[in-house]
Amino acid sequence: MPFFQKRLRLPSSQYRGRRIYFITIGTENRAPFFADPAAGHWLLAHLLKLAPQHDFLLDGYCLMPDHIHFVSEGISDTSDLVRFVNDFKQRTAYEFLKAHNTRLWQRRFYDHILRPDDALEDVACYIWLNPVRKGLCSNPRLYPLSGSQTIDWKTRIPATLSWTPPWKPPLPPL
């Protein structure tokens, strides 16, 4: 089943500037291309290289076998989320297609602009705990495809979550 996909629902100006976004990008047909950590590290190297080129910081990220979540913060008035995500998808998809002769990404991506009452670290913790919720590890600190450019995340993960995406029911305690 594909991730919920939609066209950008807001004016393009909402995706530019100093805002914070929660992003999910799914692989084509939910294929577990990143179950291999080497493939995952390849993808994250691209993400970490492209974010500053588009004036974004990655406050939290987690690459799962069939999708990636990240919370990204525009750090200039010219930061453009759509351009950043499209560049990331295009570059990685091109290399992946050449190497594997198959499509990498679903066509669209899911975005959520964080609201003032959404605590950035809580959103990042939700992302880092994803591998635990999916049974890939028992401790998020041990998952090799998670990280942050801004938060000492391995010391900040709480025992319980205080944020869940607005489109999901509240999570039970860990």
The label of the residue with tokens 């291999």 reads 36
Q: Using an 8 Å Cβ cutoff, are 26 and 105 in contact?
A: yes
The per-residue pLDDT for 117 is: 87
The per-residue pLDDT for 5 is: 42
**Dihedral over alpha carbons 150, 154, 158, 163 (to 10 degrees):** 40
Residue 159 exposed, middle or buried by CB count within 10 Å (0-12, 13-18, 19+):
exposed
The per-residue pLDDT for 13 is: 84
Q: Using an 8 Å Cβ cutoff, are 43 and 147 in contact?
A: no
- Per-residue pLDDT of 134-164, as tens digits, reads 999 989 999 999 999 999 998 887 655 666 6
Identify the weakest region by mean pLDDT among 82-96, 129-143, 159-173.
Answer: 159-173
Domains along the chain? 12-155 (3.30.70.1290)
